[in-house]
């Protein structure tokens, strides 16, 4: 929402008041409370007939400072509220004659004791951002009767803003107006399924607005040197988060809002779907699964989309008896093929569902203010929405899912959850506007918690909608995209923005959802998809098995699926890092190279973990421009080395810019036919461009019950590499691009370097 008309005027329907004069600041426990008048208070008469803002400053955690601006405080508490992990006891308050400063580690906020109001955030004493004179305010709209509280924080020269959920609009958010309001709008508009009121900047600070409903951002748009945000009502609460790097901002933000669970190892394999509206039965499904096996394509998960249930009955959680007369037997037969099972669900109950009358009778659905069930005909005729604020409704819904789990279903694709109405009444009295976005969190939490209870660490959903905290319930996918290069690129933009919003795991529909991709797009998307966190073939009205495109597509899919399987030791370590820190597996370049201006705007390439650079090809010609940050980079597939800078390359469909960072000890696995294996046994550790005086380290672990751990450190002194290792199972070291001789003489020369059988301690010398 905009509160100005150019630099000097305001819209005619608005009246604005600002905090301008600090009347008093006092210390209350470990908080600062300030009363700030909307005009200068020079005489006693000035204290009459004016607005006073109450400002609360507090430390939420080390490096995280909260600000609450209030006008009227007498309103009732409104639900829902985000669950935040605040750390008590981190605040330190310092006072002098002019100002009072609240410290939370290296981050602090300073406010004058009296007089002209300003609010300054500092890192190690240097100003980071802040709110100047008349930057924040309170707006009353004469046309609607609504009120808003807003804030404008300063942006410096060259400061870029990123994040705010899975957004498909330009990657750098400067110049954009963004509404935090979940919508089912596909991947080709400014709407988003996953709206997160959080951003970070390349200057190494972040901003989180603690409001589950609509938050309106104007990022360097209304005021081009400001990041503005506003909420409807009488109060605004936000948190400034210090880095000092963008990666550390994410660590602190996810510490506050929650970090993702670790998905099971099997989920990193290839997923294949029936697709949406295609016809399928057991014979068809078996032809897909067996066809992949016969062609040597490793397949891990088979997904049944909507029509596993009868049309017009979604959801009744009953297999269509005409198509699947023996669902439990069919699932068992698929399990015999070493295939995990996922089925599609949503939180809506159609009027034709056998569950509808029971849900109405027992009050399990969201209702209108007059007590009637809220219904409409979009998506399913007469559908109602399950009220997950009602514990009994949650148990009822989960009871039907448990029947499916007992049949052998491993996972649920938790589709939808975005079009949640606001003209309704919730069981727990939640405010409808605040529940619109938050519903996605409740829905996915309900399903994920059931899977965690029933399947332990094997719990995983495949979710489309999200709100703050939803990152705790992986994995999320990008929604409905078209089947072309443009949509492939916009999907990547969305995934990178989501990763910069605290989500560690992300996927997308390989080949696109709407329509059918030409073979070249499908093959290029296979490379991108298999070098993503999670990899699923899915579409709308046509199947996505590779032989439906051409025989070369089979070879391409097999090629990149095998690569992903062999990279599992590295990917598993990266997934554990996402669980522990909140740093995503797929990382925008600025996360790994925050001091490199060339990395700041990049949205057509990414880092897969900290060591692998991936640049998908978005052209039939195979021509792609890739930016390599300063240093030596080694192409993973060819061993060719290049130095930092822009490179224009041409790749066939079996390749793409896929580079290993210098000073990397990259663990690869012994198997290319599955993601579920002992990552340590037979591992090959590839040492890439280790510089003189530099050290590379690697820890390999596995999800296998009898798996071990391997820890290896390599240090270079001129032509000599010293290796120290801890581990009991056999492994090998591959020095990529160089011929080395082992101290024991046990070296084997190869085209890419030297393989040395792993031992506890040894040295290599350049041949």
Report CA Rg, the chain. Answer: 28
Q: How many CA atoms lie within 13 A of 257 on its CB side?
A: 30
Q: Tokens for 474?
A: 């992986």
Q: For the chain, what percentages of helix, strand and coil (3-state, to nearest 5) are there?
A: 20, 35, 45
- Do the strands 176-180 and 215-219 form a parallel or antiparallel pair, or are they unpaired? antiparallel
Q: Judge whether 328 counts as a catalytic residue.
A: no
Active-site annotation holder among 70, 305, 318, 418? 418
Contact 200, 178 (CB under 8 A): no
Q: Tokens for 132?
A: 């100047």
Task: Kindly compute the dihedral angle of the four CA atoms of residues 310, 421, 496, 518, in this order, to the nearest 10 degrees.
Answer: 40
Sheet containing 664-668: order of strands: 664-668, 683-688, 731-736, 753-757, 748-750
| DSSP bridge pairs for 481 | none
Q: Which long-range contacts (CB under 8 A, 24 or more apart) does 331-337 make?
A: 331/407, 331/408, 331/409, 332/408, 333/286, 334/285, 334/289, 334/302, 335/408, 337/289, 337/290, 337/293
The count of other CB atoms within 10 Å of the CB of residue 143 is 9
Helix (H) or strand (E) holding 569: helix 568-581
Contact 342, 413 (CB under 8 A): yes
Q: Tokens for 89?
A: 């006891």
- Residue at token pair 């998905």: 263
Q: Judge whether 96 counts as a catalytic residue.
A: no
Tell me the C-alpha distance between 22 and 394, whole Å: 49
DSSP code for 237: E
Q: State the first-to-last Cα distance of the chain, in angstroms, to the nearest integer.
A: 66
Longest dimension (CA), the chain: 93
Q: What is the secondary structure of 277-322 as a DSSP string? A: SS---HHHHHHHHHHHHHTT----EEEE-GGGSPTT--S-----TT
Tell me the C-alpha distance between 755 and 733, whole Å: 5
Active-site annotation holder among 166, 184, 222, 415? 415
Active-site annotation holder among 433, 480, 509, 681? 480
* Burial bucket for residue 601 (CB in 10 Å: 0-12, 13-18, 19+): middle
Q: Judge whether 652 counts as a catalytic residue.
A: no
The count of other CB atoms within 10 Å of the CB of residue 577 is 16
Q: Tokens for 66?
A: 């909260």
Q: Tokens for 352?
A: 């034709």
Active site residues: 415, 418, 480
């Amino acid at each position: 929402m905009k509160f100005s008309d150019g630099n000097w005027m305001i819209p005619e329907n608005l009246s604005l008041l600002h905090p301008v004069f600090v009347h008093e600041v006092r210390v209350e426990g470990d908080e600062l409370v300030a009363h700030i008048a909307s005009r200068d208070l020079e005489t006693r008469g000035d204290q009459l007939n004016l607005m006073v803002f109450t400002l609360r400053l507090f430390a939420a955690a080390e490096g995280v400072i909260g600000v609450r601006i209030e006008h009227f405080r007498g309103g009732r508490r409104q639900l829902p509220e985000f669950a935040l992990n605040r750390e008590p006891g981190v605040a330190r308050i310092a006072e002098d004659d002019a100002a009072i400063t609240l410290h939370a580690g290296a981050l602090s906020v300073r406010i004058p004791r009296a007089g002209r109001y300003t609010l300054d955030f500092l890192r190690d004493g240097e100003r980071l951002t802040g709110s100047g004179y008349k930057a924040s305010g309170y707006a009353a709209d004469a046309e609607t009767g609504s009120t808003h509280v807003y804030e404008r924080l300063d942006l410096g020269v060259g400061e870029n803003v990123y994040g705010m959920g899975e957004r498909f609009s330009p990657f750098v958010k400067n110049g954009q107006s963004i509404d935090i309001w979940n919508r089912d709008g596909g991947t080709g508009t400014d709407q988003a399924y996953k709206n997160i009121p959080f951003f970070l900047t390349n200057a190494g600070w972040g901003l989180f607005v603690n409001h589950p409903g609509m938050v309106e951002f104007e990022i360097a748009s209304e005021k081009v040197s400001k990041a503005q945000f506003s909420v409807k009502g009488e109060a605004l609460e936000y948190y400034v988060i210090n880095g000092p790097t963008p990666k550390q901002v994410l660590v602190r933000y996810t510490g506050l809002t929650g970090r993702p669970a670790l998905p099971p190892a099997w989920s990193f394999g290839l997923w294949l779907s029936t697709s949406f509206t295609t016809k399928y039965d057991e014979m068809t499904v078996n032809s897909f699964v067996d066809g992949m096996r016969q062609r040597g394509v490793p397949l891990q998960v088979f997904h049944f989309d909507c029509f596993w249930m009868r049309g017009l009955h979604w959801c009744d959680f009953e297999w269509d008896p005409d198509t699947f007369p023996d669902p439990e037997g069919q699932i068992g037969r698929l399990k015999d093929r070493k295939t995990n099972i996922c089925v599609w669900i949503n939180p809506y109950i159609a009027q034709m569902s056998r569950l509808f009358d029971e849900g109405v009778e027992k009050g399990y659905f969201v209702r209108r203010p007059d007590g009637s069930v809220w219904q409409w005909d979009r998506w399913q005729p007469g559908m109602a929405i399950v009220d997950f604020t009602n514990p009994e409704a949650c148990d009822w819904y989960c009871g039907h899912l448990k029947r499916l789990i007992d049949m052998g279903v491993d996972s649920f694709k938790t589709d939808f959850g975005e079009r949640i109405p606001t003209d309704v009444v919730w069981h727990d009295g939640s405010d409808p506007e605040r529940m619109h976005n938050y519903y996605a969190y409740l829905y996915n939490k309900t399903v994920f918690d059931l899977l965690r209870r029933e399947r332990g660490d094997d719990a995983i959903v495949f979710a489309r909608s999200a709100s703050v905290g939803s990152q705790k319930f992986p994995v999320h996918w990008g929604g409905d995209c078209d089947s072309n290069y443009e949509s492939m690129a916009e999907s990547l933009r969305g995934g990178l923005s989501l990763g910069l919003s605290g989500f560690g795991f992300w996927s997308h529909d390989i080949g696109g959802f709407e329509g059918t991709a030409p073979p070249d797009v499908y093959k290029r998307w296979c490379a991108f998809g298999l070098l993503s966190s999670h990899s699923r073939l899915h579409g709308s009205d046509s199947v996505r098995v590779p032989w439906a495109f051409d025989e070369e597509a089979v070879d391409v899919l097999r090629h990149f699926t095998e690569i992903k399987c062999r990279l599992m030791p590295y990917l598993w370590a990266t997934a554990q890092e996402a669980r522990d820190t909140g740093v995503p597996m797929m990382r925008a370049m600025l996360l790994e190279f925050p001091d490199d201006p060339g990395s700041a705007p990049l949205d057509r390439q990414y880092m897969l973990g900290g060591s692998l650079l991936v640049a998908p090809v978005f052209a039939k010609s195979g021509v792609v421009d890739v930016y390599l940050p300063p240093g030596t980079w080694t192409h993973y597939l060819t061993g060719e080395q290049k130095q930092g800078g822009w490179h224009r390359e041409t790749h066939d469909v079996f390749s793409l810019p896929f580079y290993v960072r210098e000073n990397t000890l990259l663990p690869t696995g012994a198997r290319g036919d599955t993601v579920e294996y002992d990552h340590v046994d037979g591992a090959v550790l590839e040492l890439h461009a280790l510089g003189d005086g530099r050290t590379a380290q690697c820890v390999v672990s596995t999800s296998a019950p009898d798996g071990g751990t391997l820890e290896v450190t390599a240090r270079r002194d001129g032509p000599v590499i010293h290796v120290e290792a801890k581990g009991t199972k056999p492994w090998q070291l591959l020095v990529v691009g160089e011929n080395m001789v082992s101290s024991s003489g046990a070296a084997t020369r190869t085209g890419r370097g030297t393989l040395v059988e792993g031992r506890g301690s040894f040295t290599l010398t350049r041949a």
